[in-house]
Structure 1
């Protein structure tokens, strides 16, 4: 029987923790990072080797990071906080991590990204449409971070660009409840359920689908108005209202490449079933 790869998961939060738990159940040895001391015990109890790693702390222990990266696969799951400084500190953290990776045994990287890398092109959007991001938004923080890990001879990297994340304690009915005169009510939503996020990441690792870029969104794309009205109603919250607009700006994310390459069938193909 082939040995399961040792895996390090950078960022054991909403997505990273259940992924780590699933990989442990599958027989992998899993390292998990957290920036919270109390979370260390949570990881330990789940059979995950816990590491306290905070790349935003200039005094972080480099030896701990080195030990954390003793694995064959790194799942990089740190969403950027763009509102504070436009992503500058995030790119600094990614630079620190990349340098540490060069001295590690990691040979495969799974980079969890977002469909926010794409501009609103008012049509179906595929993985190749980052060419428009290069033209319209050349300083896009997330795309810079993706390429930082794609461009290396030391490892191969697969990027998964998730749509809006929903499931577990993320209830979309709370996102816009009570808000009024919202724009783009007729724009399609690009959402994905936690269960599908986990299924896709596990399958990429199991099938060794490296050196790829995949979009990952549910098959159906109801309008923002229909989705968020229904989501608020499901929680008995104040229903949001949307402006009547002559022009709608949107992108409709296609996950066809992922479905073809991985033979993946979404557990939640319709976001209206999230509610």
Structure 2
């Protein structure tokens, strides 16, 4: 019997994940909260549902979306003034829905933004008090799910997502005074999909994992090369010191026996450069 997976939030990562799982023969349900996105998602072959999560409830066209072996929650915090309160409330609504339907396994997509930048390597358990509201909101949301005894939750804290049409240099284009010696914490979408798939296949629940490429080049090296390949202006780098963190993914690597396709974000840039050269 094939596995049924429901992906709550089929955006840039969720849609790619759903398509990959379909190719493996799994039953895949995906959700979106806009009519246009519904039409686009249906074209992929993913069973498409309208689901909108609010702080006080969940709007869903068919409850069968939640009839699943695994619920993947892939809805990041939005940029609002009260995200630290509203986002955990939304995730609590999802938890209540999971309880109501009887879902036993939940996979929550979180972020390495839950860690403070304290100029050191960070591992699971080093959360502290993040600088951004979104990071603090994610910590609260994680606890809503992991503290619920009605189902088992595994949390994945991804670094910054790169790959395909997501050109990393566009985040810093035309910026000046970028601290060039700050290490980056990035992960390619292919590795995100591979990690999520292996967690489900190996039935690893009740865990929290960091997921970032094991190597961490500095911004000056990475973004200068990204700009050159893309023929875009490079950021203006400075020798200014800024607080940083280096996200350690050893726990994930050991638990899954996982080998990153992109050990370093620089590997992705080499691939892009080779592709551009062949054209």
Establish whether TM, by shorter chain, passes 0.5: yes
Give the Cα separation in 1 of the matches to 2:45 and 2:58.
Answer: 24
Give the Cα separation in 1 of the matches to 2:7 and 2:101.
Answer: 14
How far off its partner does 1:256 sit? 0.6
1:49 aligns with 2:47: yes
Alpha carbons 1:125, 1:252 under 8 Å: kept? yes
Alpha carbons 1:72, 1:105 under 8 Å: kept? no
Which residue of the partner structure matches residue 267 of structure 1?
261
Give the Cα separation in 2 of the matches to 1:116 and 1:57.
Answer: 22
**Larger deviation, residues 150-159 vs 75-84:** 75-84
Which residue of the partner structure matches residue 226 of structure 1?
221
SS of residue in 2 equivalent to 1:119: coil
Give the Cα separation in 2 of the matches to 1:157 and 1:258.
Answer: 15
Give the Cα separation in 2 of the matches to 1:115 and 1:156.
Answer: 21
Which residue of the partner structure matches residue 14 of structure 1?
12
SS of residue in 1 equivalent to 2:142: helix
Query: For residues 230-245 of structure 1, what are the structure 2 equivalents within 5 Å?
Result: 230-245=225-240
Give the Cα separation in 2 of the matches to 1:60 and 1:149.
Answer: 16
1:248 aligns with 2:242: yes
1:47-96 CA-partner distances (Å, limit 9, x unpaired): 321111112397964563x3211112100000101444333332222122
SS of residue in 1 equivalent to 2:68: coil
Which residue of the partner structure matches residue 129 of structure 1?
126
1:152 is matched with which residue: 142, 148, 151? 148
1:98 is matched with which residue: 74, 95, 99? 95
Which residue of the partner structure matches residue 173 of structure 1?
169
SS of residue in 2 equivalent to 1:214: strand
How far off its partner does 1:244 sit? 2.2
SS of residue in 1 equivalent to 2:101: coil
Give the Cα separation in 1 of the matches to 2:98 and 2:182.
Answer: 40
SS of residue in 1 equivalent to 2:129: helix
Alpha carbons 1:173, 1:234 under 8 Å: kept? no
Change beyond 3 A, Cα 1:86–1:41: closer
Alpha carbons 2:145, 2:153 under 8 Å: kept? yes
Give the Cα separation in 2 of the matches to 1:68 and 1:86.
Answer: 26
Unaligned runs of 5+ in 1: none
Give the Cα separation in 1 of the matches to 2:58 and 2:192.
Answer: 30
Task: Give the TM-score of the pair, scaled to structure 2.
Answer: 0.89
Give the Cα separation in 1 of the matches to 2:80 and 2:222.
Answer: 26
Change beyond 3 A, Cα 1:226–1:42: same
Alpha carbons 2:55, 2:86 under 8 Å: kept? no
Which residue of the partner structure matches residue 30 of structure 2?
32
Give the Cα separation in 1 of the matches to 2:61 and 2:225.
Answer: 49
Give the Cα separation in 2 of the matches to 1:273 and 1:162.
Answer: 18
Q: Which is strand-richer, 1 or 2? A: 2
SS of residue in 1 equivalent to 2:255: helix
How far off its partner does 1:5 sit? 2.3
How many residue pairs match? The answer is 267
Give the Cα separation in 1 of the matches to 2:36 and 2:216.
Answer: 39
Unaligned runs of 5+ in 2: 270-279
